[in-house]
Amino acid sequence: MILTVTLNTALDLTYRVPSLRPHTSHRVSEVVERPGGKGVNVARVLAALGHEVTVTGFAGGPTGQVLRERLAGAPGPVDALVPVAGATRRTIAVVDERSGDTTQLNEPGPQIAPAEWGAFLDRYEELLAGASAVALCGSLPPGVPVGAYATLVRTARALGVPVLLDTSGEPLRRGVAARPDVIKPNADELAELTGSHEPSRATQDARRRGARAVVASLGADGLLAVTPEGRWRAAPPARVHGNPTGAGDAAVAGLLSALVENLPWPARLTRAVALATATVHAPTAGDHDPALYAELLQRVAVTGEFSAA
């Protein structure tokens, strides 16, 4: 079983409008509602790849109830969310059909009480006992300690469970120091962590700060990985146009699934880029076309060297 942690789960709402214009009313052409938060999105892709996956984190209030009902009503991830008194947040994505651009509005999330955090830690350790790998994903809701991910990384490592960390800011800085197996920042998050805007230098610096492997997302340019086994770049076959929402989570799912399957790093990166690209091309945010994904697996370009990073 692969475990994904989403401390700040969300009910994702996607609105499609013919053209998004400030200061005007809009007629919405389509509404899509689904369980969300980065780790939930990762779990959905893992399940589509055929992996057994469990989601944990927090859920509460009417929004949290809808989220859990949607999880229960669809095949795929197993719900191991911890109930809280506060209401789960909503995220709203507005897709401009004319330009293809997406505008995102993210609520902060519920206030987590110390007792609720303690209950989660107990649940997390129980779930790790049956996990082959764990992904720690996304922002922290109010009330959760800023060093939460560092605590979760150390717990996983103590139990011998490989851990991938995908967050930003101070939670990432502290989490890296706990020595996760993989981190997957985007270019901005990597620059904030290291102070360098040069991706090659920044990924190496992030490794020196504690991460065993660093896989940096460079947007349309693909992925840059610096690992103990070598350094690689992986890129889609052509410049990608579409909705990037969920592409980073798809890449995490690709990396994690390939990790538990013991695939070499070039194959991990190929899968991650193919999934991310297929997600950008999908009409619904966070989905991917399996046929396009299969085609892209044959076309992703990976270059690099098998030397110690």
Which sequence positions are flagged as catalytic? 249
For every residue of 60-95, DSSP letters joined together read EHHHHHHHHHHHHTSSS-EE-PEEESSPPEEEEEEE
In this structure, what token pair is assigned to residue 54?
A: 């469990």
Q: Do the bridges between strand 10-17 and strand 89-96 make them parallel or antiparallel, or are there none, so unpaired? A: parallel
Q: Which residues of 125-140 are buried (b: 16+ CB within 10 A; e: fewer)?
A: eebbeebebbbbbbbb
Which stretches of the chain are DSSP H helices? 38-48, 61-72, 114-128, 148-158, 169-177, 187-194, 199-208, 247-260, 265-281, 290-297
Tell me the three state secondary structure of residue 197: coil
Please measure the distance between the N-terminal and C-terminal CA atoms of the chain and give it in whole angstroms: 30
Burial class (CB in 10 A: 0-12, 13-18, 19+), 166: buried
Residue 143: partners with Cβ closer than 8 Å, 6 or more residues away: 111, 112, 113, 114, 116, 117
In this structure, what token pair is assigned to residue 112?
A: 């987590």
Quick check: 34 and 70 in contact, CB under 8 A? yes
Radius of gyration of the chain (CA): 18
Residue 198: partners with Cβ closer than 8 Å, 6 or more residues away: none
